Structure 1
Amino acid sequence: MLMVALLSIGTVTAAAMSPPGKPTIQIEKFPAPDQQVAWIAYGTALALQAKADGIPPGHGVWEPTFEAEVRAREFQVAAWKEISAKQPVDYPFMTKMVRIMDAGFMREYVWENYRQLDWVEPKDLRLKEYEAWASTNLVGLKPITGARIVY
């Protein structure tokens, strides 16, 4: 259901228009519609979290908390799994993101690749296990943030 709604809005290439005080989802342009949808899903999850956090208008670019970033990445992977279950799609970045999620390392991946200075390291991260796993399973993966929220 979720992806049907996302697919119905088409490919977003710049920024969705929002009324004043509402978040704008800015999404980079990607070469394939399937890739674009992956980032629409991520951006949508970020916007919902920013709204839930009550960020005031005029805030500028919203920097998600650690947990918000993890949830957005997990939402993106769930959406990607829904898309790829219906038709074969080839986006190596998302293939590796699915691999990360399936291995249970999304929190560690986010911490290692998107950490903000104000984030406090969660005690339960399995960083040594993640690093060992990533050294063979994520070769060549370049972290991407293809969407952001602006107020």
Structure 2
Amino acid sequence: MLGRLDDLLSELDVELSELNVGLNELDVGLSELDVLLNELDVGLSQLDVLLSQLDAGLSELDVGLSELDVGLSELGVGLSELVVGLSELDVALSEMDVALSNMDVVMSELDDGLCELELRLTQLDVALSVLDVF
């Protein structure tokens, strides 16, 4: 009976040794898993930093686009003012053209008056010449 008990204890000792080996392998596997989880945590932290940098970059881009939008709006206002100014200049040039045409008419009338005056002076000169002859 003691021999049988010794055999059972030996078998139990072998099984406990095998269980201990399995537990050691499990412990090694859990340690490796812990290392992988730590590496994953580091990777996620790096990803978080990169996403924060991306968010900051996108915010700067948004600010730049807003400034560009303001600049384009100001350009649109400036171009509208330019169109108004060009229209006013066109009106002024048209008025100047009318004034020049009116001046041409006045100059023609003045020229006609001078021609008529020259004709009368010539007639007067002829009349004086005739009177001189007598």
Same topology, TM > 0.5? no
Instruction: Say which structure is richer in strand.
Output: 1
Greater RCO, 1 or 2 (C-alpha within 8 Å, sep 6+): 1
The TM-score range, normalised by the shorter chain, is under 0.3
Instruction: Say which structure is richer in helix.
Output: 2
Q: Which structure's CA Rg is the greater one?
A: 2
- Per the normalisation by structure 1, the TM-score is 0.16
